[in-house]
């Protein structure tokens, strides 16, 4: 499988117009200038991220990006401010474009007729609620049992920004496939099991960014050191990427966090910066993301045929947009955005929060039970 030649565009687009100001960003923080391509493993050709494109953090003001990444800002949409009474109206209007996956369940399952489903789930903000301490982002037992149930009927994978080991520990289910580090660490199947009721044997490990491991570790150590005096800052080692959390940092010090990250990154032109929910994420400049991980897993599971497979991807964050985009560009399956606030997305449907995600998963199970 040569991902470059597939239907999925190799170019990561930036939702923020490039004409927006880039405040004081050192040139060396721009994506790596090599146009080189390297191959790894029997299937994949991976290219470096296109040097002409900018990451979201680099293409807008640091502080604006940091502020807008907060789900607390639910009163802002398309640059307008809304009172809390108006928020609900705005959300309901927004749902005309991104209907609820719950109220659309009939439509979704009708489209699955004669097709096999594949389910991809993000972790933080999708299966577990967003909490202040990333080490305490536990999913509920009810959610765990919903996910366990659905995996009996539908091949199910977790695709997370966290390290694969960590997210697997949080989820605690052997019946699933796991991709960590935004898809850069995938445990693919040895052979897809005949049914999905059995424990999945640890299969082929796919780590397209393995050569970056020492560099990521260096950056992790360096950022732990430089941010240690910023109250509330937390640096998380996600194996092939590093997360710098500022959720618990006083807003007055957000700029300092951004500057420290920028200072460290100046020394690593082969790393790039993206932005999650109150987190700055440092990762290799590879053209590899959650969309590519979905494609890889569909291929390894023997589910890449668009005619008889319907993938569903549920996620809440900007990094999940890569997966939504992959599905939309292939006109294949559905992206479902989890958000309590209106935002533009490549998803087709929406859900408000993890409790609605659980309801949706349970509805899929009910459907599978009634129509085997
Ligand atoms: O791809 P995901 O599974 O959604 O992981 C993305 C990041 O999630 C975690 O951070 C986010 O959730 C935390 C716990 O609720 C929250 O405190 C933080 O503000 C959020 O950004 C995780 O800690 C990161 O490493 C992941 O990259």
Structure tokens belonging to residue 148 = 């366990």
Among protein residues, the one whose CA lies closest to atom 14 of ligand 1: 134
Report the distance separating Cα 92 and Cα 210, nearest Å. Answer: 44
Question: So what's the pLDDT on residue 192?
Answer: 57
CA–centroid distance, 277 to ligand 1, in Å, is: 7
Cβ(295) – ligand 1 distance below 6 Å = no
Q: φ and ψ at 146, to 5 degrees?
A: -65, -45
Question: So what's the pLDDT on residue 83?
Answer: 67
CA–centroid distance, 132 to ligand 1, in Å, is: 10
> What would the mean pLDDT of 92-116 be, rounded to a whole number?
93
Where residue 369 falls among pLDDT bands split at 50, 70, 90?
confident
Question: So what's the pLDDT on residue 351?
Answer: 98
CA–centroid distance, 124 to ligand 1, in Å, is: 5
Cβ(318) – ligand 1 distance below 6 Å = no
Q: How do residues 276-320 score in pLDDT, each as one tens digit?
A: 999 999 999 999 999 999 999 999 888 988 789 999 999 999 999
Among 14, 81, 122, 250, the active-site one is 122
CA–centroid distance, 54 to ligand 1, in Å, is: 22
Where residue 25 falls among pLDDT bands split at 50, 70, 90?
very low
Q: pTM (2 decimals)?
A: 0.83
User: Do residues 306 and 52 touch, judged by C-beta distance below 8 A?
Assistant: no
Among protein residues, the one whose CA lies closest to atom 8 of ligand 1: 124
Q: Where are the beta strands (DSSP E) in 85-131?
A: 116-121
The three-class DSSP label of residue 135 is helix
Q: Where are the beta strands (DSSP E) in the chain?
A: 37-40, 44-47, 76-77, 80-81, 116-121, 156-159, 177-180, 185-187, 205-206, 234-237, 242-245, 271-276, 279-284, 309-315, 334-338, 349-351
Q: What ipTM does the predicted assembly reach? A: 0.99
Q: What is the DSSP code (8-state) at residue 48?
A: B
Where residue 18 falls among pLDDT bands split at 50, 70, 90?
very low
Question: So what's the pLDDT on residue 173?
Answer: 94
Using alpha carbons, select from 278, 331, 282, 292 the residue that is nearest to residue 309.
331
Structure tokens belonging to residue 12 = 């990561």
Q: How do residues 133-144 score in pLDDT, each as one tens digit?
A: 999 999 999 999
Q: Is the pLDDT of residue 75 over 90?
A: no
Where residue 350 falls among pLDDT bands split at 50, 70, 90?
very high
Q: Is the pLDDT of residue 74 over 50?
A: yes
Structure tokens belonging to residue 106 = 């009939």
Q: Is the pLDDT of residue 224 over 90?
A: yes
Among protein residues, the one whose CA lies closest to atom 21 of ligand 1: 277
Mean pLDDT of the chain: 81
122 is catalytic: yes
Where residue 77 falls among pLDDT bands split at 50, 70, 90?
low
């Amino acid at each position: 499988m040569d991902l470059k030649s597939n239907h999925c565009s190799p170019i990561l687009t930036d939702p923020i117009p490039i004409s927006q100001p880039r405040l004081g960003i050192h040139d060396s923080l721009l994506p790596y200038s090599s146009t080189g391509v390297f191959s790894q493993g029997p299937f994949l050709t991976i290219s470096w991220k296109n040097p002409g494109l900018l990451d979201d953090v680099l293409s807008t003001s640091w502080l604006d990006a940091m502020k807008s990444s907060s789900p607390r800002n639910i009163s802002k949409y398309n640059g307008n401010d809304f009172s809390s009474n108006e928020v609900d109206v705005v959300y309901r209007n927004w749902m005309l474009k991104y209907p609820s996956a719950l109220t659309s369940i009939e439509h979704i399952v009708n489209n699955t007729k004669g097709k096999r489903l594949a389910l991809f789930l993000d972790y933080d903000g999708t299966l577990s609620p967003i909490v202040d301490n990333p080490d305490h982002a536990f999913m509920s037992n009810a959610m765990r049992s919903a996910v366990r149930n659905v995996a009996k009927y539908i091949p199910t994978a977790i695709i997370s920004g966290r390290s694969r080991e960590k997210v697997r520990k949080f989820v605690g289910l052997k019946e699933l496939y796991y991709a960590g580090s935004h898809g850069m660490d995938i445990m693919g199947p040895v052979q897809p099991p005949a049914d999905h009721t059995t424990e999945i044997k640890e299969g082929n490990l796919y780590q397209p960014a393995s050569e970056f491991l020492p560099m990521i570790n260096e950056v992790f150590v360096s950022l732990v050191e430089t941010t240690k005096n910023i109250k509330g800052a937390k640096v998380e080692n996600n194996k092939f990427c590093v997360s710098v959390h500022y959720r618990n940092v006083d807003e007055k010090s957000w700029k300092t966090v951004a500057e420290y990250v920028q200072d460290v990154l100046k020394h690593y032109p082969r790393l790039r910066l993206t932005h999650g929910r109150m987190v700055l994420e440092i990762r290799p400049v590879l053209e590899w993301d959650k969309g590519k991980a979905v494609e890889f897993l569909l291929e390894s599971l023997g589910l890449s045929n668009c005619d008889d497979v319907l993938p569903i991807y549920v996620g809440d964050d900007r990094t999940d947009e890569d997966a939504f985009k992959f599905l939309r560009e292939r006109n294949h399956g559905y992206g479902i955005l989890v958000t309590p606030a209106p935002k533009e997305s490549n998803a087709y449907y929406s859900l408000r929060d993890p409790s609605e995600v659980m309801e949706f998963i349970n509805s899929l199970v009910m459907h599978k039970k009634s129509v085997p």
